[in-house]
Amino acid sequence: MGATAGLVALGITVTGLGPAEGSATRPGHPDSRLQRDTDAIRALGVTGVQARVTTSDGRHLVATSGVADRATGRPVPPTGRFRIASTRKAFEAVVLLQLVEEHRLSLDDTVERWLPGVVRGNGNDGHRITVRHLLQNTSGIHDDLPGYTTPEEYLQQRYDVYTREQLVARAMNHRPDFAPGAGWNYSNTGFVLAGMIIERATGRSLRQEVTDRIVSPLGLHNTTWPGTSPSLPRPHARAYQLFETGELMDVTEQVLVDPDSIVSSTRDLDRFFRALLGGRLLRPAQLAEMRRTVGINEDIGAIWPGGRYGLGLVSRPLPCGGVYWGHDGGDGGYITVTGVSDDGRRSAVVSMSASLGDSLDHMLGQQRGADTLIQNALCGRV
């Protein structure tokens, strides 16, 4: 499996190639490095970009570039909402680690203990897969998620609704990619199962657990669950997909395959990741577990050079030394790239409201542009 398959696994479709606090927020100076990096992403062909940075001295900086709507030319809102896709995996992992802290489950519990009979068939065995395996992407469960790769497929599929059980059943039609713990492969289905375990362990919905444990305590007022609604709350930039045909299509209106998808903002994600790495959401022992990383495979390594995967959290090397943490996501025309320093003091979040899915080179170029902004911000070059 090559880098293209890795992008698909992350929820980033390459079409035609395969499945705040103390100080006020201030706009970036037009000649600042932050604004230049934001403009550079826009210059790649991304319709709209918004970036938010928290500096080590507590300043909150925002930069935008491009347009929110190609039809009207209105500017990108600096507080715009967007679908965060796989970035939500960090939220889910935090809830599970809080439950571990409360002795309500263990990372070594098997899937079979909490979801009897759900993972079975074609060599899949829930007796051998643990909660840790799910959060670490070492379960071996094969992904087989629905998705569109052409404008016609988008129009046909955009209102399709899937349950967690349906998504897991699709994965069970395949043999595992490897034995549990014997390899690493990005598995969205593993996190679908993790959400099901949260609900079984607590007797409450995943949405309610995330709200009560993270969203409400941190005041994440722009973080919501769309459910089966195909629209987003305002303000938001419209989402676009560049297909292999060269057609740039508005794909804002759609129901995501992920039934647990989240809509948020750069402000809320900035606050969440700083709180997480700053030790405000997990005790030291659980945060240490989250940051215990393993190596990733070659195709995902092409997307996250030097990356390692913890429990719903990714570490990557900083060019100025040390590492940074976060979790990117891409789906529904939005691409989210995040980064926070090891101590939680500095952070950067980029939301791009277009996915350059016409070629692998363009998709990787979009990722590299966002990586450059994140790394410059975390190295103090803003």
Q: Which residue in 32, 56, 65, 86 is the catalytic one? A: 86
Has residue 7 got a pLDDT over 80? no
Percentage of the chain modeled with pLDDT above 70: 92
The count of other CB atoms within 10 Å of the CB of residue 348 is: 31
What are the CA-CA distances from residue 375 to residues 76, 104, 108, 176, 347 (Å)?
Answer: 23, 38, 35, 36, 10
Instruction: Tell me which residue has tokens 């500096």.
Output: 55
Condensed to tens digits (0 to 9), the pLDDT of residues 231-240 reads 999 999 999 9
The CATH code of the domain at 3-69+81-378 is 3.40.710.10
CB atoms within 10 A of CB 192: 25
The token pair that represents 56 in the structure block: 């080590």
CA pair distance 99, 106, nearest whole angstrom? 8
In this model, does residue 277 exceed pLDDT 70?
Answer: yes
Q: Which of 108, 141, 110 is nearest to 126 (CA)?
A: 110
Position 129 scores a pLDDT of 98
The confidence score (pLDDT) of residue 20 equals 36
Percent of the chain with pLDDT over 90: 90
Is residue 351 among the annotated active site residues? no
CB 194 within 8 A of CB 134: yes
The alpha helices in the chain, defined as continuous H runs, are: 3-9, 33-43, 88-101, 111-114, 131-136, 151-157, 164-172, 188-202, 206-210, 216-218, 266-277, 284-290, 298-303, 360-378
The secondary structure of residue 280, as a DSSP letter, is S
3-class state of residue 96 by DSSP: helix
Distance CA 260, CA 61 (A): 30
Q: How far is it, in rounded angstroms, from Cα 196 to Cα 115? A: 8
For 126-179, the pLDDT digits (tens) are: 999 999 999 999 999 999 999 999 999 999 999 999 999 999 999 999 999 999
CB 311 within 8 A of CB 93: yes
Average pLDDT, the chain: 92
Whether this model's pTM surpasses 0.75? yes
CB 127 within 8 A of CB 161: no
Residue 266 pLDDT grade (very low, low, confident, very high; cuts 50, 70, 90): very high
